[in-house]
Amino acid sequence: MPFLNNIRCRIGKYYLGKELGRLSHTPAMVSLTQAKKVGIVFNSDSMENTELVKKYFDYLSALGKKVSVLGYIAAKKPDECLDWWPGQTYITRKDLNWYYKPDKNIIDNFVRGAYDLLLDLNVSEEIPLLYVTAFTMAGCRVGKYNQHLLNLYDVMIETDQRKTLKYFLRNVDKYMESIDKGQKLNEPEPQHA
């Protein structure tokens, strides 16, 4: 089965690349402070990740942001995962075609959200969420660094493959706040005496 899955993934990435080549996107850099409407996509196969995203959702909402979240559940029995955040929007395996592209009718409400900022918290780089990110109308798309996905994101945050979503979220906050301060992303913050 892993052999077949690898073929499906390669085909999915191939078609994603073709989609990225024909989609037009004009980046509009925006900091976390400036963003009024934020979209979040994440892999919701673990309760730990779901809890982290819930807390982040609450944090952004408390800052006055209008936040929409879309989770992806790859588990064979998604019902168990749905209980972790009732009422939240999810896509599951049954919403995907053979090469993991989500049905546009299922994701339509989310991708038409016209977000100032889209945070792709998909640290495991699940193909269905990469498609959602590609199709989403967002001014600024933020995601994990991957040299093969340079056309997908406006801001890419480099992270070690072994690092967790919690680590990635800390870096998202740090770098998106540095945009607000007018710093270059690779510059350290100035030291105050």
In the chain (193 residues long), the average pLDDT of successive 10-residue segments reads 88 92 87 94 91 94 95 85 80 94 93 95 93 94 91 89 84 84 50 46
In angstroms, the CA 103 to CA 101 distance is 7
pTM: 0.88
CATH code assigned at 162:
3.40.50
Q: Is 31 contained in some domain?
A: yes
Predicted confidence at residue 132, as pLDDT, reads 96
By C-alpha distance, which of 156, 127, 145 is closest to 16? 127
Q: Is 189 contained in some domain?
A: no
Q: Is 156 contained in some domain?
A: yes
Q: Is 173 contained in some domain?
A: yes
3-state secondary structure 88-149: CEEEEHHHECCCCCECHHHHHHHHCCCEEEEEECCCCCCHHHHHHHHHCCEEEEEEECCHHH
Q: Is 190 contained in some domain?
A: no
Q: Is 136 contained in some domain?
A: yes
By C-alpha distance, which of 64, 117, 109, 116 is closest to 88? 109
User: Which residues span the domain enclosing 60?
Assistant: 2-180
Domain count, the chain: 1
Q: Is 153 contained in some domain?
A: yes
Contact between residue 37 and residue 152 where contact means Cβ atoms under 8 Å apart? no
